[in-house]
Amino acid sequence: MQRRFNPLEADARWQKIWDEQQSFRASDDSVKPRSYVLEMFPYPSGRIHIGHVRNYSMGDVLARFRRMTGHEVLHPMGWDAFGMPAENAAMEKKVHPGSWTRQNIATMRAQLKKLGFALDWSRELATCEPEYYGHEQALFLDLYEHGLVYRKESAVNWDPVDMTVLANEQVIDGKGWRSGATVEKRKLSQWFLKITDFADELLDGLKTLDHWPEKVKLMQENWIGKSVGLQFSFKLDQAVNGHSEVAVFSTRPDTIFGASFAAIAADHPIAQALAENDALLTAFIEECRATGTAAADIETMDKKGHDTGLSVVHPFNPDWKLPLFVANFVLMDYGTGAVMGVPGHDQRDLDFARKYMLPVERVVAPEGQEDAPVHDEAYTGPGHLVNSQFLNGMDAESAKKAVIDRAEAEGWGHGTTVWRLRDWGVSRQRYWGTPIPIIHCDTCGPVGVPKAQLPIILPDDVSFDVPGNPLDRHPTWKHVDCPKCGKAARRETDTLDTFVDSSWYFIRFASQPSDKPFDAETVKKWMPVSQYIGGVEHAILHLLYARFWTRALKHIGMLDISEPFTGLFTQGMVTHETYKATDGRWLSPDEVEKRGDRVVVLETGENATLGRVEKMSKSKKNVVDPDDIIEQYGADAVRWFMLSDSPPERDLPWTAAGIEGAWRFVNRLWRLFGQIDAAATGEDKPLDRKLHQTIDGVAKDIEALSFNKAVAKIYELANAVEKAAPSASRSAAIRALALLVAPMTPHLAEEAWADMGEQGLIADAPWPNVDPALLVEDEVTVAIQVQGKLRDTLTVAKGTPKDELERLALASVKIVRSLDGAVPKKVIVVPDRLVNLVI
């Protein structure tokens, strides 16, 4: 009878058994070596999407493999459950953010369970529950006590219709992304975390992260943005409102003789003072504010300025005056909010100088280019100083140092380091987040909530029918007495940025006592996470914040770990073709059918156009629902497909043919697993060798997260087993094959294991041993050359003696033909490699 694997029945049965036996529960007390495997926890948006499936399949293979290699594995799952989408749903669908979120969690948990991931569900957590965020409040207070949290007025993007602060990304062309209202700059008192205290450490720590992608480390490095240079003051030719100098910061003090102007930011105090009597400048400043200056746009934006009519004096020559501009490309919150413009060597300055017809002079030149003028491109390369008085002839590094030394000796400047990293503003005027555990008292100022009163629980009875923060307009919630003096006071109604929630969840997974955030001893047993897997979109913020929290907790003596994630892997996306109807509507894959080269709309029979292969997204309708696919093919085929074909860091195009192929392979394996023949005897040496090389190779591939390579090796082994004649070796290979696929297709593997009459679960079985003797090839291919040209090859036993190789070479039909009667003058033999006949 043709054996057919019934995934729907088998998946559910094994999932139930794993659940009942708590197979994947991690023990804090195990004596085995530990391994913590973690995928970035999902936001409960509604349903699992295929990107999650790919991400979690990868982590699962590693987790299961490490269990098989004798590790006590921690592989937890939880929910990053606070955030805006829940409030949007509340506004649009009139459901409470809490019920919307918890419903989504229930749905997505069930979906994940259907995929058979080896997760320790006993440690499941959701950041929106007081059992989690109450401890976060305690940690916030700990950081507050240690001076790592402070309150500061800062300018924010304020949406006057939604009555909320918007992140920069939520401001589109100066308008709120939801309301469309013109966004205002407002000064608000907000809470900040002192991440800048750790800038140096966070930068240095990157050097220790050998198992992180280079590109992620580079992105973090740029984000932290350490710049070493000179801060110095230009004297103003006339004082403005008591300002007699303009302080500037430059990373290129060596180019100081190339300066042709100075520029200040629109929000600079001198610009503000001048604007009081200058309507044009006031208008220009307004314009700068409206467009905003995100650092990223500076390179490309149109450089604009306003000439103040004032001049500054060059520090090396009291007679040398440079015009002072207010310029849109100068940021107020970087360096000193003012620059010296060196058009010859800075592209922004060059664009600006060309527009306002300012001098452009070269002061750094490579050998032979001393007199070459600078045209459209600023020269940023290496070279030596020219046109620079006492600096002439020096290389840039020495010149930098010489200028800094002079500035320090003469007292007009000093060497300094400037960071791009800013402190982390964590206040959000939102409901669905962790309440900030602070009480504002008119007498005592901000007072931390006493820990015994934690958690500060979000009130349930809130409404979303009017804009603004529901916590703020709740009738009673914010009215409390001051914990210090007992007078009437107000609770903080801002909640924490959800990035705070995800900055320590991996610590809570490792240890979750009810009376404190974690137990440091237990955390130490599991942390750091040995392998973290997630999307590259988190390369900067989430990973930096998580690194910061870990270091901050260490700094205040709560934890003894510096880096939370030893290994990081960022997986590629799952993509799919897109389809469009003639009227421009996007069509989903199940609305169309491909007929040859044509794509046809099923309902109407009309032609549709085939668009690009793109990341699956609801807006383009090019999504496949994991549930549908699991229903059709079972979890294992889906998992297998997610791991095959593409290297894990690359995008994986979802195709019907791909999942079909995976499904066929699952069935091929199932038929093979039925072919163990206890009666078959005899060895099959080549098959033994193939098997052991595969065991070894697959293990290495899984550890390197090269899942597609592991899959390819398993295909090859399956082919070899299928072709082999019955033997004891073949039966052993079939049994081992079940173990090899167990991390990837665990339900199929369990089913086969039971069917083979093996004891226990394959999930608990050890990874097969490798016999090192079988890893070495005992046959080699030897090249035979005539006059250095390849004419034939020999397959011989390794170590075949020289004279035997010579004899075999001369006996080769091809060689005899090639020599055409000539007798070799000399025969060169390199054992195991080649025979060269010289005539």
Q: Is position 733 an interface residue for Zn ion (rule: CB under 5 A)?
A: no
Minimum distance, C-beta of residue 327 to ligand ANZ, in the bound complex (Å): 8
Whole-angstrom distance, CA of residue 291 vs CA of residue 123:
47
For 701, what's the count of Cα atoms within 13 Å in the CB-facing half-sphere?
Answer: 25
Q: Which does 189 bind (CB under 5 to 8 A by kind): ligand ANZ, Zn ion, none?
A: none
Residue among 249 and 477 whose Cβ is closer to ligand ANZ: 249
Tell whether residue 192 is a contact of ligand ANZ (CB under 6 A). no
d(CA 381, CA 758): 68
Tell me if 387 contacts ligand ANZ by CB under 6 A: no
Q: How far apart are CA 42 and CA 46, in angstroms?
A: 10
Q: Which of residues 23-42 bind ligand ANZ (CB under 6 A)?
A: none
Of the pair 223, 586, the CB lying nearest ligand ANZ is at 223
Query: How far apart are the C-alpha atoms of 281 and 310, rounded to whole Å?
Result: 13
Q: Which amino acid is at 813?
A: V
Of 137, 255, 328, 530, the one binding ligand ANZ by CB under 6 A? 255
Smallest distance from Zn ion to CB 448, Å? 12
Residue 606 identity:
E
**Contact call for residue 314 and ligand ANZ (CB under 6 A):** no
The yes or no reply on residue 325 touching ligand ANZ (CB under 6 A) is: no
Judged by beta carbon, residue 303 or residue 478, the one nearer ligand ANZ is 303
Q: Which helix (H) or strand (E) holds 124?
A: none
Contact 262, 239 (CB under 8 A): no
Distance CA 339, CA 298 (A): 14
Distance between CA atoms of 546 and 507, rounded to whole angstroms? 10
Query: In this structure, what DSSP letter does residue 632 have?
Result: H
Q: Which does 482 bind (CB under 5 to 8 A by kind): ligand ANZ, Zn ion, none?
A: Zn ion
Contact partner, 250, from Zn ion, ligand ANZ, none, Cβ < 5-8 Å per class:
ligand ANZ
> Is 381 or 450 the residue whose CB approaches ligand ANZ more closely?
381
Q: Interface with ligand ANZ includes 51 (CB under 6 A)? A: no
CB of 179 to Zn ion, least distance (A): 37
- How many C-beta neighbours within 10 Å does residue 50 have? 21
Q: Residue 485, interface with Zn ion (CB under 5 A)?
A: yes
Is position 40 an interface residue for Zn ion (rule: CB under 5 A)? no
Instruction: Single out the residue of 241, 443, 463, 681 in contact with Zn ion (rule: CB under 5 A).
Output: 443
Contacting range for Zn ion; rule: CB under 5 A; set: 58-66, 309-317, 480-488, 603-611:
480-488
* Nearest alpha carbon to residue 68 among 772, 771, 768, 770: 768
By the 8 A CB rule, do 558 and 636 touch?
no
Instruction: Candidates 45-53, 72-80, 272-280, 328-336: pick the segment binding ligand ANZ (CB under 6 A).
Output: 328-336
8 Å CB contact between 320 and 312 = no
Instruction: Tell me how far apart the alpha carbons of residues 588 and 580 are, in angstroms, rounded to a whole number.
Output: 9
Among Zn ion, ligand ANZ, none, what binds residue 251 when CB lies within 5 to 8 Å by partner kind? ligand ANZ
Residue type, 739: L
Among 64, 67, 306, 345, binds ligand ANZ (CB under 6 A): 345
Rounded CA-CA distance 445/439 in Å is: 8
Q: Where are the alpha helices (DSSP H) in 360-425?
A: 396-410
> CB under 5 A: which stretch of 9-17, 396-404, 439-447, 514-522 binds Zn ion?
439-447
Length of the chain: 839
- CA nearest to 764, candidates 10, 118, 58, 38: 118
Cα 410 to chain centroid distance, Å, stands at: 47
Q: Which is nearer to Zn ion, 144 or 526 (CB)?
A: 144
CB-nearer residue toward Zn ion: 151 or 304: 151
Q: Give residue for tokens 């001393």.
A: 370
Beta bridge partners of 835: 784, 829
Smallest separation (angstroms) from ligand ANZ to the CB of 335: 3
Is residue 335 part of the contact set for ligand ANZ (CB under 6 A)?
A: yes
Torsion, Cα 133 137 139 145, to 10 degrees, reads 180
Residue 298 CB, nearest approach to ligand ANZ (Å): 7
Nearest-approach distance from CB 255 to ligand ANZ, in angstroms: 4
Q: Per rule CB under 5 A, is residue 479 in the interface with Zn ion?
A: no
Residue 484 binding result from ligand ANZ, Zn ion, none, given CB thresholds of 5 to 8 Å by partner type: Zn ion
Shortest distance, position 368 Cβ to ligand ANZ, whole Å: 20
Contact partner, 835, from Zn ion, ligand ANZ, none, Cβ < 5-8 Å per class:
none
Residue 617 binds ligand ANZ, judged by CB under 6 A = no
Query: Of the listed pieces 322-330, 428-436, 442-450, 595-603, which binds Zn ion according to CB under 5 A?
Result: 442-450
The only residue of 444, 536, 810, 827 in contact with Zn ion, by rule CB under 5 A: 444
Stretch that binds ligand ANZ, among 177-185, 245-253, 515-523, 814-822 (CB under 6 A): 245-253
Angle of CA points 67, 73, 75, to nearest 5°: 115
SS3 label, residue 226: strand
Residue 366 has, within 13 A of its CA and on its CB side, a CA count of: 5
Residue closer to ligand ANZ, measured from CB, 202 or 339: 339
Q: Which string of DSSP letters, residue by residue, matches 798-835?
A: TT--HHHHHHHHHH-HHHHHHHTT---SEEEEETTTEE
What is the smallest separation between the CB atom of 486 and Zn ion, expressed in angstroms?
A: 7
Q: Which of residues 225-244 bind ligand ANZ (CB under 6 A)?
A: 227
CB of 427 to Zn ion, least distance (A): 21
CB 358 within 8 A of CB 260: yes
Stretch that binds ligand ANZ, among 327-335, 577-585, 633-641, 661-669 (CB under 6 A): 327-335
- Please list the residues that pair with 688 across neighbouring strands: none
Instruction: Report the alpha-carbon distance of residue 548 to residue 563 in Å, rounded.
Output: 9
* Interface with ligand ANZ: number of residues (CB under 6 A): 18
Handedness of CA 799, 802, 803, 805 (dihedral sign): positive
Binding flag, residue 60, ligand ANZ (CB under 6 A): no
Q: How many CB atoms lie under 10 A from the CB of residue 29?
A: 7
Query: Is residue 250 a contact residue for ligand ANZ (CB under 6 A)?
Result: yes
The yes or no reply on residue 224 touching ligand ANZ (CB under 6 A) is no
426 in Cβ contact with 496 (< 8 Å): yes
Under rule CB under 5 A, residue 828 binds Zn ion: no
Q: Is 337 in the site for ligand ANZ (CB under 6 A)?
A: yes
Residue 564 Cα to chain centre, angstroms:
14
Of the candidates 251, 398, 588, 793, which one interacts with ligand ANZ according to CB under 6 A?
A: 251
Q: Does position 829 bind Zn ion by CB under 5 A?
A: no
Token reading at 300: 């490309």
- Residue 301's H or E segment, with its range, is none
Please say which residue, 334 or 640, places its beta carbon nearer to ligand ANZ: 334
Is 132 one of the binding residues for ligand ANZ (CB under 6 A)?
Answer: no
Residue in this structure with the two tokens 């989408």, named with its chain if needed: 85
Comparison of 295 and 602: residue with beta carbon closer to ligand ANZ: 295
Q: Where are the alpha helices (DSSP H) in 231-278?
A: 269-275
Q: CB under 6 A: which stretch of 22-30, 114-122, 335-343, 734-742 binds ligand ANZ?
A: 335-343
Asked if 416 is part of the footprint of ligand ANZ (rule: CB under 6 A), the reply reads no
Integer Rg of the chain from CA = 34
Counting contacts by CB under 6 A, is residue 599 touching ligand ANZ?
Answer: no
Considering the complex, state which of residue 284 and residue 464 has its C-beta at the smaller distance from ligand ANZ. 284
Q: H or E segment at 39? A: strand 34-39
Contact of residue 87 among Zn ion, ligand ANZ, none (CB under 5-8 Å per partner type): none
Structure letter (DSSP) for residue 434: P
Which residues contact Zn ion (rule: CB under 5 A)?
441, 443-444, 482, 484-485
Q: Which residues bind ligand ANZ (CB under 6 A)?
A: 227, 249-252, 255, 329-331, 334-335, 337, 339-340, 342, 345-346, 418
